[in-house]
Structure 1
Amino acid sequence: MSLFKKNPFGHILFLKLWLIRIMGTLTHRRYRGFNELQIEGSDVIRNLPDTNVLFISNHQTYFADVVAMFHVFNASLSGRDDNIKNIGYLWKPKLNIYYVAARETMKSGLLPKIMAYAGSISIDRTWRAGGQEVQRQVKMSDITSIKKALEDGWVITFPQGTTTPFKPIRKGTAHIIKHYKPIVVPIVIDGFRRSFDKKGLRVKKKNILQTMEIKQPLNIDYENETIDQIVEKIEFAIEQHPSFLKVIPQQELLEKEELNKLRKW
Structure 2
Amino acid sequence: MSTFFERIKNLNLLRRVVYGVVGAATYPGIALINKLQVNGAERLKDLPKRNVLFVSNHQTYFADVITFLHIFFAAKWGRYKGLGIPYYLLNPITKIYYVAAAETMKDTWLTRLFASAGALTVKRTWRAEGKEVQRGLDPGDTRKIARALNDSWVITFPQGTTKPFAPGRKGTAYIIKQNQPIVVPIVINGFWRAFNKKGLKFKKRGSLLSVTIKEPMNIDYNAPVEEILDQVMDAIEQSKKYMLKGKHHLMSVIDK
What TM-score bracket applies, with the shorter chain setting the length?
Answer: over 0.9
One-letter code of the match for 1:235? Answer: M
Partner SS, residue 201 of structure 1 = coil
TM-score (norm 1): 0.90
Residue 259 of structure 1 corresponds to: none
**Structure 2 unaligned residues grouped into runs of 5+:** 1-5
Residue 108 (structure 1) shift: 2.1
CA contact (8 A) 1:97 1:154 kept: yes
CA distance in 1, matches of 2:255, 2:152: 44
Partner SS, residue 244 of structure 1 = helix
CA distance in 2, matches of 1:20, 1:10: 11
**Structure 1 unaligned residues grouped into runs of 5+:** 1-6, 256-265
CA contact (8 A) 2:39 2:211 kept: yes
One-letter code of the match for 1:247? Answer: H
CA contact (8 A) 2:8 2:15 kept: no
One-letter code of the match for 1:55? Answer: F
Spell out, residue by residue over 1:20-50, the C-alpha distance to the aligned partner (whole angstroms, 9 max, x if none).
Answer: 0111011111111110010000111111000
Identity %: 46
Residue 247 (structure 1) shift: 2.9
CA contact (8 A) 1:57 1:157 kept: yes
Partner SS, residue 65 of structure 1 = helix
Residue 168 of structure 1 corresponds to: 167
One-letter code of the match for 1:231? Answer: L
Partner SS, residue 238 of structure 2 = coil
Residue 227 of structure 2 corresponds to: 229
CA distance in 1, matches of 2:210, 2:236: 13
CA distance in 1, matches of 2:235, 2:251: 27
One-letter code of the match for 2:141? Answer: D
CA distance in 2, matches of 1:9, 1:146: 18
Partner SS, residue 46 of structure 1 = helix
Residue 251 (structure 1) shift: 5.5
TM-score (norm 2): 0.93
| Alignment of 1:241 onto 2:245 | no
CA distance in 1, matches of 2:82, 2:254: 29
One-letter code of the match for 1:146? Answer: I
Residue 4 of structure 1 corresponds to: none
Residue 226 (structure 1) shift: 1.4
CA distance in 1, matches of 2:213, 2:112: 28
CA distance in 2, matches of 1:124, 1:57: 19
Query: How many residue pairs were aligned?
Result: 248
**1:180-191 equivalence runs, <5 A:** 180-191=179-190
Residue 148 of structure 2 corresponds to: 149
Residue 11 (structure 1) shift: 2.5
CA contact (8 A) 1:8 1:148 kept: no
CA distance in 2, matches of 1:28, 1:148: 30
CA contact (8 A) 2:160 2:169 kept: yes
CA distance in 2, matches of 1:20, 1:215: 25
Residue 125 of structure 2 corresponds to: 126
One-letter code of the match for 1:47? Answer: D
CA distance in 1, matches of 2:10, 2:82: 29
Moved more, 185-194 or 75-84: 75-84
Residue 263 of structure 1 corresponds to: none
Over 3 Å counting, the alpha-carbon distance change for 1:205 and 1:179 in structure 2 is same
CA contact (8 A) 1:57 1:187 kept: yes
Residue 47 of structure 1 corresponds to: 46
Residue 254 (structure 1) shift: 9.1
CA distance in 2, matches of 1:27, 1:117: 17
Moved more, 157-166 or 20-29: 20-29
CA distance in 1, matches of 2:141, 2:7: 14
CA RMSD of aligned residues (A): 1.7
Spell out, residue by residue over 1:75-117, the C-alpha distance to the aligned partner (whole angstroms, 9 max, x if none).
Answer: 1121012110010111111101000001111122211110100
- Identify, as 1 or 2, the structure richer in helix: 2
